Amino acid sequence: MEAEALRQDHRTRWLMSLPAIAIILCAAAGPLMVMVVYSFLAPGDYGNVKWEFSTEGWVSVLLQRDIFDGTLAWADAHLSIFWRSLSLSLITTVVTLLIGVPTAWFIATRPDGKREFWLFLITVPFWTNLLVRTIAIQELIRAEGVINLILLKIGLIQEPIQMMFTNFAIGFGMSYVYLPLMVLPVYAAVEKLDFRLVEAAHDLYASRWKAFRLIILPLIKPGVIAGSILVFIPSLGAYVTPRVLGGGKNLMFGNLIELQFGQGRNWPLGAALSLTLMVAVMIALIFYVRATSRETHNG
């Protein structure tokens, strides 16, 4: 009797979860399967696809075929975009880490009544559209922008520095946009830190750097890893910031995907690139899960 009641309860739970499962399948797995199918088809003449099996989309991710003799060679343009996306994402992660950890420490060490104010200032940019924030950065670094005007006024430069449409502009913009995603997880880790351990380290004549390296950093490491993943993943697939600040010459992964579905009219290649980006994101997430699980196990 009890076993029958238990089976009935499990059946009821499954029936109640069916709507959520259907939504997940339609909203997540459905579009993903469309991309998988499209990546193995031939491109149409004016966009869309031809329902002919082809692996040319996957081949074109890293290689390009000569239009005359059909020989394959490395796709230098794609490789340069891949490298730019990876390097700028790593630089953005490092920059936000160097700024975010001291910022999170500053906020976490404020009196209880003042922390909410500083957290409010950190989260304010999220209330504004990403495009608006990116254009604000553009106003700072363009030739007639605030930074160049200040440098000209104090006499450090004789003519405006060209910062727009460069890798520096993209990295600067992404660091500003994704900085809160680094500060908040690190702040959550620092807030739970037992500061008596830091005081004990100082009592044992540990320097500030040694106390940070041996006491503070290991304890806030889960927050640092979480913040790094939260910054690295959206940076890798960023579209708006590279498009506005990088111009047409400094494309990143997201821009390359959009280009294939738009002007390039090569939907199979765009689908293959999208799946390649997803695999890169999954690898980063696996690294994060393993790192955090290892920290939890050691703890």
Are the C-beta atoms of residues 267 and 46 closer than 8 Å to each other?
no
255 sits in the region (left: phi over 0; alpha: psi -120 to 50; else beta) called alpha
Residue 171: its pLDDT value, please?
A: 94
Residue the block writes with tokens 């989309």: 57
pLDDT of 297 higher than 60 = no
What predicted TM-score, i.e. pTM, was given to this entire model? 0.86
* 126 half-sphere exposure, CB direction, 13 A CA radius: 11
Which residues belong to CATH 1.10.3720.10 in the chain? 76-298
Residue 1: its pLDDT value, please?
A: 62
pLDDT tens digit sequence for 184-226 = 999 999 998 888 888 888 888 888 888 888 888 888 988 998 8
182 sits in the region (left: phi over 0; alpha: psi -120 to 50; else beta) called alpha
pLDDT of 16 higher than 80 = yes
pLDDT tens digit sequence for 65-80 = 887 877 889 999 899 9
Q: Give the Cα separation of 26 and 274 in Å (integer).
A: 18
Q: Give the Cα separation of 166 and 208 in Å (integer).
A: 38
* Angle between helix 146-153 and 130-141 (nearest 10): 20
pLDDT tens digit sequence for 39-65 = 999 998 888 899 999 999 999 999 988
Residue 239: its pLDDT value, please?
A: 92
> In Å, what is the CA distance from 62 to each residue of 56, 121, 270?
11, 43, 13
pLDDT of 115 higher than 80 = yes
**Which residues have CB under 8 Å from 166's CB, separation 6+?**
246, 250
Question: What tokens were used for 26?
Answer: 């339609």
pLDDT tens digit sequence for 116-137 = 999 999 988 888 888 899 999 9
For domain 76-298, the CATH architecture is Orthogonal Bundle (1.10)
Rounded to the nearest integer, the mean pLDDT of the chain is: 88
Q: Give the Cα separation of 285 and 168 in Å (integer).
A: 27
> In Å, what is the CA distance from 49 to each residue of 3, 60, 61, 66, 189?
53, 15, 17, 21, 48
pLDDT tens digit sequence for 243-263 = 999 887 788 999 999 999 988
Residue 270: its pLDDT value, please?
A: 94
Strands (DSSP E) found in 155-224: none
Q: Give the Cα separation of 38 and 40 in Å (integer).
A: 5
Residue 299: its pLDDT value, please?
A: 56
Residue 249: its pLDDT value, please?
A: 79
Percent residues over pLDDT 90 in the chain: 46
Q: Give the Cα separation of 299 and 295 in Å (integer).
A: 6
Q: Give the Cα separation of 182 and 146 in Å (integer).
A: 26
User: Span 174-182, mean pLDDT?
Assistant: 94
